[in-house]
Structure 1
Amino acid sequence: MARTGRPRQFDRDEALHQAMALFWQYGYESTSLAQLREAMGGISAASFYAAFSSKEALFNETIQLYLNTAGEQLRTTLSNPELDTVTAIHTAFKQALLEQTDASHPRGCMVVLSATNCSPDNQHIQKAMIEERKQTRLAFRDCIQRGIESGNVSTETDAESLSLYYSTLLNGISIQARDGISLEELNKIIDLSMPDSLSQ
């Protein structure tokens, strides 16, 4: 009698990264349980629920993974007290562009793209992503306000409006990156946007 091969050991961390890539590429609602299980090595439904409880719980975990890895750098740079405001914002954008055009994972920002439109049953997921984007806008605002207080940004600057401008630019870049616009072209957008917006 032929012997069956030993089942591949389930690697939860690897499965989490695979799930993050799927949600990042296709969005929360368009990613099916069948896709998730297949990406995890064809695990059974019972194994999936034992490991992650539910699709929503898994999505929340992948968002946290994204924020702790790919998504962390921008906010960290904006809050760095050793950088002046202009340098911090310019550096944060350049870092975001490199991340969002990296060929090793889906292009664009997962927080922007994974739950932009949701059915009524999943509005709470969409609202959670809205809140995450708000936190990025507030990081821009705090960085600008710090520049005003330290004197390297004009006191006439409206920190609220300018932070909304930068977060809108960042969200738009995510869509352009997903559409295949090159890193070179996206860098030109940032270079055009920076000189006048923070002038003293």
Structure 2
Amino acid sequence: MTGWRLYLAARGTVAAIAVSVGALLLVLASGVTVFEVRLVATEIPRFTPVWELVPVLLAAALPALLVSRLASWEHTQHRRLRTRAATVAVAAVTIPASIPWVAQFRLPDDARWVDITCNVALFAAVALVATCVFGRLAGPAVALMAYVGTIGVQQLSPALAARLPVSGARTNLQPHPWPTLVVVLVAVAAWTLTLGRSRWTARRTRHD
């Protein structure tokens, strides 16, 4: 348990817990607040609720806060490190994705929270892979660009948006649990095998 106690006491882990609690409280306090994104005047705006936006922002940040700062020699087949990495990866997806589920108890019955939960889980998985591949600084930026880019596609090309496993376009308002689950499993596996840092990232960042 010593390893877990040290990890839980690390600044990044403490910050991750604090940010997660803050995100949940913000979503609960915001209630039914929804932002309208309109990139095309003739298109129906993309309605982005706070219970999606805030969890996605949290999902982008969590992997960067939770990744262990391991020296290169620690990237071995150590079973306990891999178990911890898998636990962290699952938490990095589950915590943001659970916020829309909690929020729905304060939302109207017709609020779209099931598909929003799938959206958040999908972008949490993207954040895991991006942080693993590009590092703690670039990873969150890549995840956020993927989210913003998806919203752009939903506004600019509804026909293409209908084929994406992301809800939000007027042509695509249903949840996508199975594609999301596949992406999440791949992301968790990648994070577990690399301990949150690919070989390229580990060589580039060394002992950061």
TM-score (norm 2): 0.45
TM-score (norm 1): 0.46
